[in-house]
Chains A and B, each alone.
Chain A
Amino acid sequence: MDIQSCVEVRNEWDIVSARQLGRNMAKELGFGNVDQARITTAISELARNIYLYAGRGKICIEPIDQIGRKGLRIVALDNGPGIREIRKVMEDGYTTSGGLGAGLPGVKRLMDEFSIESTVDVGTEISATKWLR
Chain B
Amino acid sequence: MTAKDALTERYQDLLSVYLKAKTETTLYKGQQFSRKLLEQQISPEDLVSLHIQVMDQLFPDMSEEMRDSFDFLLEAMIGYGFAYREHQSLRDKQQQLESEIEVAASMQQTLLLSDVPGFDQLDIGVVSVPAKKMNGDYYNFVKSGNSLSVAVADIIGKGIPAALCMSMIKYAMDSLPEEQMKPHLLLENLNRVVEQNVHSNMFITMFHGVYEPESHKFYYAGAGHEPGFFYHAKEDEFQDLIAKGLVLGVSRTTTYHPYEKMIEVGDMVILLSDGVTECRTSKGFIEREEVVSLIRKYMDLPSQKIVENVFQELDRLQGFELRDDFTLIILKRLV
Residues on A lying within 8 angstroms of B by beta carbon are: 32-34, 37-38, 40-41, 92-93, 99-102, 105-106, 109-110
Contacts and interface: CB of A to CB of B under 8 A. Distances in A.
B82 A34 contact: no
Q: At the interface, is chain B mostly helix, strand, loop or mixed? A: helix
Q: Nearest 9 pairs between A and B by C-beta?
A: A101-B82, A101-B86, A101-B83, A34-B49, A100-B83, A109-B85, A106-B82, A41-B78, A37-B78
Contacts of A106: 82, 85-86
Given A41-B78, A92-B90, A92-B93, A34 B85 contact: no
Residue picked from B71, B75, B78, most chain A C-beta under 10 Å: B78
A33 B71 contact: yes
Contacts of A34: 45-46, 49, 74
B89 interface: yes
Interface string B63-75: 0000000010011
Given A34-B74, A37-B78, A92-B90, 14 more contacts: A34-B46, A37-B75, A38-B81, A41-B78, A41-B79, A92-B89, A99-B79, A100-B83, A101-B79, A101-B84, A101-B85, A101-B87, A106-B85, A110-B82
B82 A33 contact: no
Contacts of B45: 34, 37-38
Given A33-B49, A34-B45, A37-B45, A105 B78 contact: no
In the complex, which range does the number of interface residues on chain B fall in? 10 to 19
Contacts of B87: 101
Nearest to A95: B86
A101 B87 CA distance: 8
Nearest to A91: B93
B52 interface: yes
Nearest to A109: B85
Contact of A100 (B75, B78, B82): B82
B78 A38 contact: yes
Contacts of A38: 45, 78, 81
Contacts of A41: 78-79, 82
Contacts of A32: 49
Contacts of B82: 41, 100-102, 106, 109-110
Contacts of A33: 49, 52, 71, 74
Contacts of B85: 101, 106, 109
